[in-house]
Chain A
Amino acid sequence: EADIYQTPRYLVIGTGKKITLECSQTMGHDKMYWYQQDPGMELHLIHYSYGVNSTEKGDLSSESTVSRIRTEHFPLTLESARPSHTSQYLCASSESGRALPVPLEQYFGPGTRLTVT
């Protein structure tokens, strides 16, 4: 089982609040990712990081921001939550350094179910 953790698991919060979703991994992986998933829909990449001080936006536009100050930690922040942010947020990580085309396994955390009222 992958050693990747997310907190909180569930969060119900009012509109306008600032929130931070935590993600930590103990595998020493360089690459980390944030996905957003609505019920019955596919995962959408919203942020990724290749390593410390490296962050990039993903395919799905998101009002959230991320930081990568430490290898093991990749928090996601919403400055002002809105009902449209209600979704499941999944964090993942993968190792690096292997030559293509060997596929890199992505390990997912348990997710944070966010509800904004």
Chain B
Amino acid sequence: KNQVEQSPQSLIILEGKNCTLQCNYTVSPFSNLRWYKQDTGRGPVSLTIMTFSENTKSNGRYTATLDADTKQSSLHITASQLSDSASYICVVSDRGSTLGRLYFGRGTQLTVWP
């Protein structure tokens, strides 16, 4: 069964600290992995997209890693800011269809305290 599991479910950190969010998936055949940021009451916004051949990608203070062999990804946030408080969703796409079926994780709810 194709699944995407994220951990932790929620996380609280102090402003300025770093944190790492985890994503494990069983989606096969794998096409790409995306990390989205979703603010409360808003739609998800893409942070990174990685294909099979990429093992790291950065977007400002966000750095995503991908290990396609172990089917794991992480999202590292450096020097956290209050505006980083949001849900971070890992999404994996399979191959073989034009639609590129997307499998969504439940997200990690990050809270940054001052």
Contact = CB atoms under 8 A, between A and B. Distances in A.
Interface stretch (A14-22, A67-75, A76-84, A106-114): A106-114
A100 B43 contact: no
Given A90-B43, A110-B42, A105 B49 contact: yes
A101 to B, nearest CB: 6
Interface residues of B, number: 26
Contact of A104 (B4, B52, B100, B109): B100
Most chain A Cβ neighbours within 10 Å, of B4, B43, B89, B106? B43
Contact of A111 (B4, B42, B52, B95): B42
Contact of A101 (B32, B43, B107): B32
Contacts of A106: 46, 102
B44 A100 contact: no
Contact of A48 (B36, B41, B99, B106): B99
A115 B43 CA distance: 18
Given A101-B31, A101-B32, A42 B106 contact: yes
B41 A42 contact: no
Given A106-B46, A111-B42, A113-B41, A101 B51 contact: yes
A111 B89 CA distance: 16
A92 B45 CA distance: 11
15 contacts: A42-B89, A42-B105, A43-B44, A44-B104, A45-B102, A48-B99, A91-B43, A92-B43, A96-B98, A100-B31, A103-B31, A103-B32, A103-B93, A111-B42, A111-B43
